[in-house]
Amino acid sequence: MKVPSTTVGVSILAAAFAVGSAAVVQSAHAALIHNWDFASGSLTDTGTMASSTTNAVLYNGATITAGSGATLPTPAAASDNKSAAFVSLGSYVLPASGSVTIETYVDHFGPGIGYFTPVYSFNNDLKTGPGGQTSSNGTYWPSGSTSGQYLQFAASQPARTVGTGDVVGAGSSIGFATAGTASEQQSYSSSPVYLDQPGKYFIDAVLNSSTDSSGNVTRTLTYYLNGVAQTPVTLAAGQSLSNFTDLNSVLGISAFGGDPNYAGTSYSFFRIYNTALSASQVAADYAAVTPEPASIGLMAVGAVGLLVLSRRRVRN
């Protein structure tokens, strides 16, 4: 059946404006092992290594809505508080060795929260939470004891010296500590950018493990914000995924009990790749969900032109 020309014009116009609405565009990378497309209204993991135990679970008032994603309501609460909203992604979702890229797109619509607000945390906290309860899919509430193992993204932090003696800048950061060193190293924002302030943020953390012709292994950790690389760090010899246990994989709460949760935030998606995405791949993923305003305008103008033309054809 032919579609009336007026309908075609309206459909094109609607599609043009939908492109700029931050609707999730599926990543084309083959190494996408876990993929939670929350903006589609689903908690199901659709990555290549997905299982029934890696489907997301909402806790303490966290919600999911098509278009918005998985949302943690305000006000903020301490991460070890029973009322702290969060999302659990199950256990052991990171690669056991090699490289990894963690990618997410968040909209923080709430007020500023404070230092050490976690966007996400992978950790090996072995204790149950307040009251002794554990979650239904086998992960645990954070209690502040991690045996020194965590890969955690902080939306905000002060300038400080971390356990390895590195001086890190104020702003936002990805911190990594493993059983190999039990001391944190960070890749942090090149200028003080605090992601607990209202805004939309496309965040990548890339741990790249490479081996040269002599068998020497180099590992780097690089944080990207909105497609742009921030201050990277070369990791110590023991800082590797093979020395790390991600018993808990959670969005919005910390490995440390006193840290506030990332309240007032919606997660459009959360992705894990078993490879280190290149700078150009990260930039392409960012561009896929945030098209240039000029491009949106051109598409809209073109759609309006098609709509006018279709109406003229109807009149004739």
Residues of the chain where predicted confidence (pLDDT) is lower than 50: 1-23, 128-140, 143, 294-316
What stretches of the chain adopt beta strand conformation (E)? 32-36, 57-59, 63-65, 69-72, 86-88, 100-108, 118-123, 150-157, 160-161, 167-168, 171-177, 185-188, 199-211, 217-225, 228-229, 233-234, 248-251, 265-273
**Domain residue limits, the chain:** 1-20+293-316, 30-290
Residue 19 contacts by C-beta under 8 Å, 6 or more apart in sequence? 291, 296, 299
Report the distance separating Cα 189 and Cα 40, nearest Å: 30
Report pLDDT for 220: 97
Question: Cα-flanking dihedrals φ and ψ of residue 38, to 5°?
Answer: -65, -35
Report pLDDT for 309: 42
Q: What is the pTM of this model?
A: 0.81
Report the distance separating Cα 235 and Cα 217, nearest Å: 10
DSSP 8-state symbol, 218: E
Q: Tokens representing 291?
A: 């098209």
Q: Tokens representing 69?
A: 């994603």
Report the distance separating Cα 116 and Cα 305, nearest Å: 50
pLDDT tens digits for range 61-87: 999 999 999 999 999 988 877 788 999
- Class of the CATH-defined domain 30-290: mainly beta
Report pLDDT for 209: 97
Q: How many CB atoms lie within 10 A of CB 143?
A: 17
Report the distance separating Cα 33 and Cα 90, nearest Å: 14
Q: Tokens representing 284?
A: 């392409």
Question: Interhelix angle for 5-19 vs 293-315, to 10°?
Answer: 170
Report the distance separating Cα 250 and Cα 229, nearest Å: 24
Residue 191 contacts by C-beta under 8 Å, 6 or more apart in sequence? 169, 171
pLDDT tens digits for range 92-146: 999 999 999 999 999 999 999 999 999 999 988 755 443 344 444 444 455 455 5
